[in-house]
Chains A and B, each alone.
Chain A
């Protein structure tokens, strides 16, 4: 699905990613963990195409295409979805109008017929159930006045609507109470298939109790320094990141 090779990225001249390698195949769930400032969110932003970052070297192959050559929207149209850590409020633009526009843009790119209003509304009803999102929220302005939990659920709802190949969840668990976390996790698990893949970026192990990863990677100082099975997350939780830091620095 995606191969990230020796990726270096910097912002304002400061290097954040320092040779990151990662391969994710269809049907897999990967968790990327790491201490604050390791470059977790940078990785998500760079993959989505945020222009503040400068890619100094490396390549990213997404479904056979060079991802870094694509515009932000074309990456989305190719099936890359980023669930934002801080979903943006867009006053006056209704969620449904926003999603219908996005969905039809993606369909047009894939040379598919645009979705009819009727089918679209049916889809909204179906998908909003997955994250127990009140149908009323769907007609409100994008994220405006949503609670923290509602915003995160709305991200997963959008993910369900757009049906991406690769979903990157950037700290989706942050700020969620246990009920909201369960709902979000349930949504992600429901959407999982052998054709798509998920990268979860998180600081805490808690989310991984609900979405079981196939692999856990530890990101430290712009590189993946350790990869292991799901149990690695528990070990991290127990021993803390210092354990990794010591390990890395002693090398």
Chain B
């Protein structure tokens, strides 16, 4: 029974965005704006090898040649790319070797966020990489993992220590030219996490990265690369928060997953960037490119709970290249006030007997707009491909919107594709039933919404599921008037 309603009630006491604090630490920065010089400076500060700098400069050129996209279902004021600071790193030892080396202010931040990189956490079996603004601050559990041949470190460290792996895989799943924000990220990404699981190794702990935007006026451009070699297994968790700020902050990340033959990667996200206030002021622009490649018999499973950000634009996708590979996408997206979410997935079936499952639950309240956009593409080569898609939208107020835009493209006659979508109001009769049994309206709604999302929440690792449940309850707060 895990997380109970009483616990939820306690957590609800502090209902406003509770991660909205700013940590006061000193920063090492590059000047505001974007240019070849800034990129050179950034690369230099990170003491990067020439090939990395070349990669960035090339990406910058590509980015400059691209046009910023206009998306169908979100409206926002476009960020001024010259008003952003592209590198801002908490001063102190980079990539602290041990917990003791971490700045006490940052330690406090992590504690407020409920991440402690201490022994206790390690005992719980979670290895954490903490990225504040642009830099990975600390990675726990490293030595233990090293013994198994698992590499789990900050991206910067990987560039220095494992250049052959980074060179080989970076940009192979999400090419530099993939889209405007992927190109921008490739030019200016500052840090992120890198993970390599060797052949046949099942990573025994959950690998976790916690991203936090702290400094005002900075963008966060992190890059994550997870490579799971043949028969390997990794479960990766990603959490995100940012302080409350009036201006919009840009977050443009790239995540690449590579699952080799018979490997399996589970990637879970609880995204809780600052969504802006009740009037739609401020909040994070979350423009993220996430994609995974499955070789023969491999499996990639994306699970996401999206409650934050003013604008979310992300489609964690799977390229099912190998025969018998499997792609999964489980998503809960909650929007409130003036939030806009346009999220979904792409399942590209290339190999034979490939399977994909999509379960997407959207909950809209306030004056928010919540869209599912998805693509299921069955190529000619993908014999006996299977897809099942279920998209459900729940509407809580008459001023919000819920939209479903699935693209289904099939070029193989042996494919079986099923897509279903429903949109409905939260059940008045369900609320009445719960209240007749003594539950308050608020609690009834929270219970019903959590039940509604259960299929997705069940896919999250335990401690993430608890956090996600709490987030859901907070996000739909005061939504029925």
Contact = CB atoms under 8 A, between A and B. Distances in A.
Q: A–B direct touch, CB within 8 Å, in complex?
A: yes
A133 B439 CA distance: 23
Contacts of A59: none
B432 A72 contact: yes
Given A97-B1, A98-B447, A104-B6, A158 B437 contact: yes
Contacts of A141: 451
B470 to A, nearest CB: 15
A94 to B, nearest CB: 8
Interface stretch (A2-10, A83-91, A181-189, A211-219): A83-91
Contacts of B430: 88-90
B6 A73 contact: no
A101 interface: yes
B427 A92 contact: no
A99 B427 CA distance: 19
Contacts of A224: none
Given A100-B4, A101-B447, A114-B6, A90 B434 contact: yes
Interface string B442-459: 010001101111110000
Contacts of A101: 4-5, 439, 443, 447
A14 B436 CA distance: 24
A100 B438 CA distance: 11
B448 A93 contact: yes
Interface string A66-85: 00000111011100011010
Given A97-B1, A117-B1, A92 B437 contact: no
Interface string A99-123: 1111111100100001001000000
B454 A90 contact: no
B436 A72 contact: yes
B4 A92 contact: no
Contacts of A81: 436
Given A91-B452, A92-B451, A73 B439 contact: yes
Contacts, number: 89
B7 to A, nearest CB: 11
Contacts of B453: 92
Nearest to A80: B436
Among B4, B436, B448, the one with the most A-chain Cβ atoms within 10 Å of its Cβ is B436
Contact of A76 (B1, B427, B438, B455): B438
B439 to A, nearest CB: 6
B439 A102 contact: yes
B440 A73 contact: yes
A76 B437 contact: yes
Contacts of A91: 451-452, 454
A96 B455 CA distance: 18
B429 interface: yes
Contacts of A99: 437
Contacts of B96: none
Interface in B44-89: none
B407 interface: no
A185 to B, nearest CB: 22
Contact of B437 (A71, A98, A109, A117): A98
Contact of B438 (A87, A88, A89, A162): A162
A48 interface: yes
A98 B436 CA distance: 12
A57 to B, nearest CB: 24
Contacts of A109: 438
Interface in A36-78: 48-50, 71-73, 75-77
Contact-size category for A:
35 or more
Nearest to B449: A92
Nearest to A78: B438
Contacts of B438: 73, 76-77, 102-103, 105-106, 109, 162
Main SS at interface, chain A: helix
Contact of A96 (B1, B6, B427, B437): B1
B447 A48 contact: no
Contact of B448 (A49, A72, A90, A162): A90
B430 to A, nearest CB: 5
B47 to A, nearest CB: 51
A105 B448 CA distance: 16
B58 to A, nearest CB: 48
A48 B13 CA distance: 29
Nearest to A105: B438
Contacts of B6: 104, 114
Contacts of B429: 88
A92 B5 contact: no
Among A75, A84, A92, A100, the one with the most B-chain Cβ atoms within 10 Å of its Cβ is A92
A1 B126 CA distance: 57
Contacts of A158: 437
B434 to A, nearest CB: 7
B433 interface: yes
Contact of A105 (B427, B440, B450, B455): B440
Contact of A162 (B435, B437, B447): B437
Interface in B399-446: 427, 429-430, 432-441, 443
A237 B455 CA distance: 49
A63 B4 CA distance: 31
A48 B436 contact: yes
A100 B436 CA distance: 14
Among B4, B437, B438, the one with the most A-chain Cβ atoms within 10 Å of its Cβ is B438
Interface in A106-162: 106, 109, 114, 117, 141-142, 158, 162
A82 B447 contact: no
Nearest to A87: B433
A76 B441 CA distance: 13
A95 to B, nearest CB: 11
A158 B437 CA distance: 9
Given A92-B450, A92-B452, A96-B1, A105 B436 contact: no
Nearest to B2: A97
A244 B288 CA distance: 71
Nearest to B457: A92
12 contacts: A72-B436, A73-B438, A73-B439, A76-B438, A88-B432, A90-B451, A92-B454, A98-B434, A101-B4, A102-B434, A102-B439, A141-B451
Interface of B: 1, 4-6, 427, 429-430, 432-441, 443, 447-448, 450-455
Given A88-B432, A93-B450, A103-B438, 18 more contacts: A48-B436, A49-B436, A72-B432, A72-B436, A73-B438, A73-B439, A76-B435, A76-B437, A88-B427, A88-B429, A88-B430, A89-B430, A91-B454, A93-B451, A102-B437, A117-B1, A158-B437, A162-B437
* 4 residue pairs, one from A and one from B, having the closest CB atoms: A92-B451, A93-B451, A92-B454, A72-B435
